[in-house]
């Protein structure tokens, strides 16, 4: 009886310790490095505003909500609940990651510069020319079924660039590749301007690709 | 242009055939291409709940492209000349769908979708279907809530469905991209398209508003009831 009492009291004391609560960092919607209308005429201001202030903002809000619910479930030891939240975390977390990269991958047309240096050399070595790289990229990306992204990624293992499409909001990082350049082909990325003609959007977007940013990401990946 | 078309009660929708004329002196094997079926109402008839512009693109471009691309894919193959249902099931290929499936299933899904709506739709079901909804969901309001939730939680492109089994039991499901419950052995009786192209012109990112409008103003409960009855035959 004495042992039981000691055990109960020990348990009480343990439960009274401050929980090692997860450090909940709130994800924030990043600002765009340019005005909504800055990518015209290739991507309309209306699309950019909806895309950033509604779609990306929703991924951020819903990710934060899911992370908060996960923290609560963890505190309660509710593993079942944690598991049911993973879909929302993957979808909204991936949506946030992807768009966070995407905004930096774009640049106003007046500031556009083609790729140079090592990035240009790698592209030419693997695809013979920038044009050929673009048509290969566009063919694969146009063929995405439903919603998804086309990516240029860097394979740290082989030191090569790869073109790869990802479904829905699955981030490229889950493949092990380092994301360098993403092109969003969810319909919300182009519908108001290009309607069903995804290939026209894919032709246009290369006028606003920020190759300097792509090169910076490649350099960082190689460190 | 208002078309009076017999609403198909069965969940099987037959594609209509257009026979190409024989040319030349040699006997030509005639294969018929599957056709784009028009909605059973004018393209502006669902206004203000679903705009004419949406129908012009959604039916006139997207649905039409699925039909054209499917026909190109199956021309000269063993699927050429088969019914739409046969093409859908064959291209599903037991869960490893071929590229034909992406088009064929979307042809089927969209026809089923147009026929699930009508001008001045919405309201509530009656009779046996209403009883089944109350029994299987608790109430019509709960059904509406859950149907909307299914549409909202289909992350990415896809569809939300109300299905019936042959005993009259109802269930909800959601599918990604082109997948349809027909290939899962289910009998759908109602669907809503949640690909962004279905609502982006009208409400942009506001999928919840689109789903509410669909439920309250567009559902053709008569057709759903006919399909429900047919599911139990």
Residues of B in contact with A186 (CB under 8 A): 156, 196
Residues B136 and B56 in one domain: no
Residues B132 and B169 in one domain: yes
pLDDT tens for residues A83-116?
999 999 999 999 999 999 999 999 999 999 999 9
**CA distance to partner chain B, nearest, from residue A155 (Å):** 27
Nearest chain A residue to B102, by CA: A145
**Is B102 part of a structural domain of the chain?**
yes
CB count within 10 Å of CB B122 equals 16
3-state secondary structure of B89: helix
State the CATH number of the domain containing residue B75. 1.10.287.990
**Is B3 part of a structural domain of the chain?**
no
Residue labelled with tokens 């343990």: A14
**Is B41 part of a structural domain of the chain?**
no
Residues B154 and B64 in one domain: no
**Is B4 part of a structural domain of the chain?**
no
B49 is in an annotated binding site: no
| pLDDT score, position A10 | 59
Nearest chain A residue to B195, by CA: A146
Report whether B10 contacts B227 (CB < 8 A): yes
Residues B90 and B143 in one domain: no
Residues B182 and B203 in one domain: yes
| pLDDT score, position B88 | 97
pLDDT tens for residues A127-186?
999 999 999 999 999 999 999 999 999 999 999 999 999 999 999 999 999 999 999 999
Residues of A in contact with B178 (CB under 8 A): 145-146
Residues B90 and B154 in one domain: no
**Is B119 part of a structural domain of the chain?**
no
Q: Is the CB of B57 less than 8 angstroms away from the CB of A196?
A: yes
Report whether A183 contacts A42 (CB < 8 A): no
Residues B55 and B140 in one domain: no
3-state secondary structure of B54: helix
Residues of A in contact with B210 (CB under 8 A): none
Beta strands (DSSP E) in chain A are 148-155, 160-167, 178-184
Q: Could you tell me the residue range of the domain that residue B81 belongs to?
A: 9-35+50-114
- Angstrom CA distances, A220 to A156, A162, A217, B18, stand at 11, 17, 5, 59
Q: Which residues of A touch B (CB under 8 A)?
A: 50, 54-55, 58, 87, 91, 145-148, 167-169, 186-188, 191-192, 195-196
> Domain boundary residue among B83, B114, B145?
B114
B63 is in an annotated binding site: no
pLDDT tens for residues A188-222?
999 999 999 999 999 999 999 999 999 999 999 99
| pLDDT score, position A168 | 98
Give the whole-angstrom CA distance, residue B56 versus residue B43: 7
Residues of B in contact with A169 (CB under 8 A): 155-156
**CA distance to partner chain A, nearest, from residue B200 (Å):** 7
Q: Is the CB of B196 less than 8 angstroms away from the CB of A147?
A: yes
Is the predicted pLDDT of residue A2 greater than 70, yes or no? no
Residues of B in contact with A87 (CB under 8 A): 155
**Is B43 part of a structural domain of the chain?**
no
Residues B180 and B144 in one domain: yes
Segment 39-78 of chain B within 8 Å of chain A by CB: 57, 61-62, 65
Q: Is the CB of B155 less than 8 angstroms away from the CB of A188?
A: no
| pLDDT score, position A15 | 52
| Nearest by Cα to B196 from A215, A162, A147, A93 | A147
State the CATH number of the domain containing residue B223. 3.55.40.20
Q: Is the CB of A169 less than 8 angstroms away from the CB of B196?
A: no
Give the whole-angstrom CA distance, residue A139 versus residue A143: 6
| Number of domains composing chain B | 2
Backbone angles phi, psi at B175, to 5 degrees: -130, 150
Residues B106 and B149 in one domain: no
Is the predicted pLDDT of residue A21 greater than 70, yes or no? no
**Which of B156, B180, B194, B197 would you mutate first to test chain A, the one with the most A CBs within 10 A?**
B156
**Is B78 part of a structural domain of the chain?**
yes
| pLDDT score, position B4 | 33
**Is B122 part of a structural domain of the chain?**
no
pLDDT tens for residues A53-89?
999 999 999 999 999 999 999 999 999 999 999 999 9
Residues B155 and B223 in one domain: yes
Is the predicted pLDDT of residue A50 greater than 60, yes or no? yes
Asked if B196 reaches chain A (Cβ–Cβ under 8 Å), the answer is yes
Residues of B in contact with A188 (CB under 8 A): 196, 200, 204-205
pTM above 0.80, yes or no: yes
Report whether A214 contacts A150 (CB < 8 A): no
Sheet holding B158-164: strands in order across? B170-176, B158-164, B187-193
Of A91, A188, A196, the CB nearest to B155: A91
> Domain boundary residue among B91, B114, B137?
B114
State the complex-level ipTM: 0.88
Residues B95 and B152 in one domain: no
| Nearest by Cα to B41 from B128, B119, B158 | B119
| pLDDT score, position A11 | 59
Residues B18 and B94 in one domain: yes
Of A50, A55, A196, the CB nearest to B61: A196
- The residue ranges of chain B whose pLDDT is under 70 are 1-32
Residues of A in contact with B204 (CB under 8 A): 50, 54, 188, 192
């Amino acid at each position: 009886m004495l042992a039981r009492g000691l055990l109960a009291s020990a348990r009480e004391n343990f439960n009274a310790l401050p929980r090692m609560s997860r450090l909940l960092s709130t994800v924030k919607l990043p600002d765009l490095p340019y005005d909504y209308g800055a990518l015209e005429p290739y991507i309309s201001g209306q699309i950019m505003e909806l895309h950033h202030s509604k779609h990306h903002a929703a991924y951020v809000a819903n990710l934060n909500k899911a992370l908060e619910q996960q923290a609560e479930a963890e505190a309660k030891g509710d593993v079942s609940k944690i598991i049911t939240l993973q879909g929302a975390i993957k979808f909204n977390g991936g949506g946030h990651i992807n768009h966070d990269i995407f905004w930096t991958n774009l640049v106003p047309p007046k500031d556009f510069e083609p790729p140079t240096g090592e990035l240009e050399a790698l592209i030419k070595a693997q695809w013979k020319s920038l044009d050929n790289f673009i048509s290969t990229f566009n063919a694969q990306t146009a063929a995405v079924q439903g919603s998804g992204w086309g990516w240029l990624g860097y394979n740290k293992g082989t030191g090569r660039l790869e073109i790869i499409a990802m479904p829905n909001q699955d981030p490229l990082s889950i493949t092990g590749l380092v994301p360098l350049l993403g092109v969003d082909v969810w319909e919300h990325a182009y519908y108001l301007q290009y309607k069903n003609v995804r290939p026209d959007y894919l032709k246009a977007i290369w006028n606003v690709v920020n190759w300097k940013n792509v090169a910076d990401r490649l350099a960082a990946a190689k460190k | 242009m208002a078309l009076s078309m017999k609403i198909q009660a069965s969940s099987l929708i037959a594609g209509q055939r257009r026979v190409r004329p024989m040319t030349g002196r040699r006997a030509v094997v005639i294969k018929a291409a599957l056709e784009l079926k028009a909605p059973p109402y004018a393209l502006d008839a669902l206004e203000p709940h679903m705009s004419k512009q949406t129908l012009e693109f959604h039916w006139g471009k997207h649905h039409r492209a699925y039909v054209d691309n499917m026909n190109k894919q199956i021309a000269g193959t063993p699927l050429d000349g088969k019914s739409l249902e046969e093409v859908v099931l064959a291209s599903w290929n037991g869960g490893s769908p071929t590229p034909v499936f992406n088009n064929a299933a979307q042809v089927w899904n969209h026809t089923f979708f147009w026929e699930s709506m009508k001008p001045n739709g919405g309201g509530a079901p009656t009779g046996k279907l209403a009883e089944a909804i109350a029994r299987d969901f608790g109430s019509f309001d709960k059904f509406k809530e859950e149907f909307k939730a299914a549409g909202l939680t289909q992350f990415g492109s896809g569809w939300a469905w109300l299905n019936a089994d042959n005993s009259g039991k109802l269930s909800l499901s959601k599918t990604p991209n082109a997948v349809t419950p027909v290939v899962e052995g289910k009998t759908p009786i109602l669907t809503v398209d949640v690909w962004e192209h279905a609502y982006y012109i009208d409400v942009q990112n506001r999928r919840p508003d689109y789903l509410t409008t669909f439920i309250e103003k567009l559902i053709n409960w008569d057709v759903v009831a006919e399909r429900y009855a047919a599911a139990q035959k």
